[in-house]
Structure 1
């Protein structure tokens, strides 16, 4: 089984039952490190968050203002690790810059819009966004409806919406990785567990690509 799931006790227990039944489980994109999963395939999410913080710090420089961090849910370990990596690097470089967190938007535009608009109305100093959990159309619409500038906007994954927004220069950068390659690696791990492929070395984290409007991968659509 190839699994993307929240890191909660019920999921960990279910993975244990699968492993006990001889069914290998590979976690994809977000990990369940306390479970009996066979391996994790995806990026180093803490490093991805740190990369986002580095880019944010370079682009904002000494400009005053607060940064909005947006998670879809507090139960996905990948989002939690990205936020931790981002926060640690931002605090080290800019200890006085405030980070404002919103969560539980679930990547849905309607929910995300309300959360972002409420945050912007409460904090007139928010001028940048690190979007960990999606809903970026709604986030930008909230800034626009309130007449607010988003000076830097860093997001994850080149899905259809983010590809279009990046082409339109409405996103500053997207942190991306090759999901097709991740899926191939996950399938190979399952096949090796069943003896269909020879053993291989340890699984390494996927490469983190920093994509701007000027280095879009071939085949990106939007």
Structure 2
């Protein structure tokens, strides 16, 4: 478990100058008052984050606020995208400290409903706010609902459980992300026919299930000559993905493309290289990590459909704070975009 806690000496005037707005505007944004456009709010919050400004550093404001504890429940293991989110949460330590918030990063097996539900239940009464990468399962929904009934603000992160009583979802539109991947594969195939293999983490994770749905929609509507194989589940594990793709390559001589809905891209790259199929099989995946970056650069993957882990970490923190303190959420500021990354526009 990691707790976050540091500080900074930037003033309100510094933030106003960096954002190019008045002191009054900065004050309205910090205190969640109306009268500021989404665009201006984003400029101010961007300046706050760049400068590590502590809006509650003044003694009077500190006296009016009370300490809060947040828990962020992430998947354990080697999922690089989730580790990026954790790193961005840690990087917000000055922001948390300025608002008298302690943020604990916890890891568990989010693919197992019993384990995740038990972990959620253990947080009751210990935290004012909880963010969770959630499995959409009845036991997990019940655990979220119990936390909410006990007075804990709960947001889902990356993967949603919309039928639960969670207050907010922080993440991309995963159906749109899946449709984007389908459009990329369909267009890159350029009229070639054959079969498309699909590697997913788990159909029980809503982000993966929605990506599969969106992907299937586009392929059925616009590229009916291409046949989709049933998805195989690798739990975002590189070794499992390697074994699954090796089997797909052996069993499917007319395989023309692969779609990976989640992590574990390194295993897919090894399987393709071992079979001499790298750059012959069209590959599209998700999230920019060191492994997927390398595979994009060497041509093994043609494109990535990505989301910004830093934006998600900051949005999660802002939303939980708003829920706990009764402040408004700024929808435009918390909208997470679906991004397409090619070798040519790598950040």
Aligned to 2:320: 190
Inter-partner Cα distance in structure 1 for 2:322 and 2:338: 25
**Is the CA contact 2:262–2:287 (under 8 Å) kept in the aligned structure 1?**
no
**Is the CA contact 2:269–2:295 (under 8 Å) kept in the aligned structure 1?**
no
Q: How many residues were matched structurally?
A: 216
Inter-partner Cα distance in structure 1 for 2:271 and 2:344: 26
**Is the CA contact 1:102–1:115 (under 8 Å) kept in the aligned structure 2?**
no
Q: Which has the larger radius of gyration?
A: 2
Aligned to 2:252: 123
Inter-partner Cα distance in structure 1 for 2:154 and 2:316: 9
Aligned to 1:56: 185
**Is the CA contact 1:152–1:172 (under 8 Å) kept in the aligned structure 2?**
yes
SS at match of 2:233: coil
Aligned to 1:220: none
SS at match of 2:184: helix
In structure 1, stretches of 5+ residues that fail to align are: 218-222
Aligned ranges for residues 19-38 of structure 1 at < 5 Å? Answer: 19-38=148-167
**1:114 and 2:234 aligned:** no
**Is the CA contact 2:259–2:283 (under 8 Å) kept in the aligned structure 1?**
yes
**1:137 and 2:252 aligned:** no
Deviation at 1:15, TM superposition (A): 0.3
Aligned to 1:102: 231
**1:200 and 2:329 aligned:** yes
After superposition, the C-alpha distances for 1:69-110 in whole angstroms (9 at most, x for unaligned) are: 110112100000001100110111121311113322112222
**1:212 and 2:342 aligned:** yes
**Is the CA contact 2:193–2:225 (under 8 Å) kept in the aligned structure 1?**
no
TM-score under structure 1 length normalisation: 0.91
**1:41 and 2:205 aligned:** no
Deviation at 1:172, TM superposition (A): 0.7
Deviation at 1:144, TM superposition (A): 2.8
SS at match of 1:70: strand
Inter-partner Cα distance in structure 1 for 2:346 and 2:274: 29
Match of 2:218 among 78, 89, 98: 89
Inter-partner Cα distance in structure 1 for 2:324 and 2:231: 42
Inter-partner Cα distance in structure 1 for 2:325 and 2:230: 45
Deviation at 1:5, TM superposition (A): 1.8
TM-score under structure 2 length normalisation: 0.59
Inter-partner Cα distance in structure 2 for 1:144 and 1:164: 13
Higher relative contact order (CA 8 A, sep 6+): 1
In structure 2, stretches of 5+ residues that fail to align are: 1-129
SS at match of 2:165: coil
**Is the CA contact 2:258–2:282 (under 8 Å) kept in the aligned structure 1?**
yes
Deviation at 1:191, TM superposition (A): 0.8
After superposition, the C-alpha distances for 1:9-41 in whole angstroms (9 at most, x for unaligned) are: 111011011101111111011100010101001
**Is the CA contact 2:295–2:301 (under 8 Å) kept in the aligned structure 1?**
yes
Relative to structure 1, is the Cα distance of residues 143 and 165 closer, same or farther in structure 2, using a 3 angstrom cutoff? closer
Inter-partner Cα distance in structure 2 for 1:16 and 1:77: 17
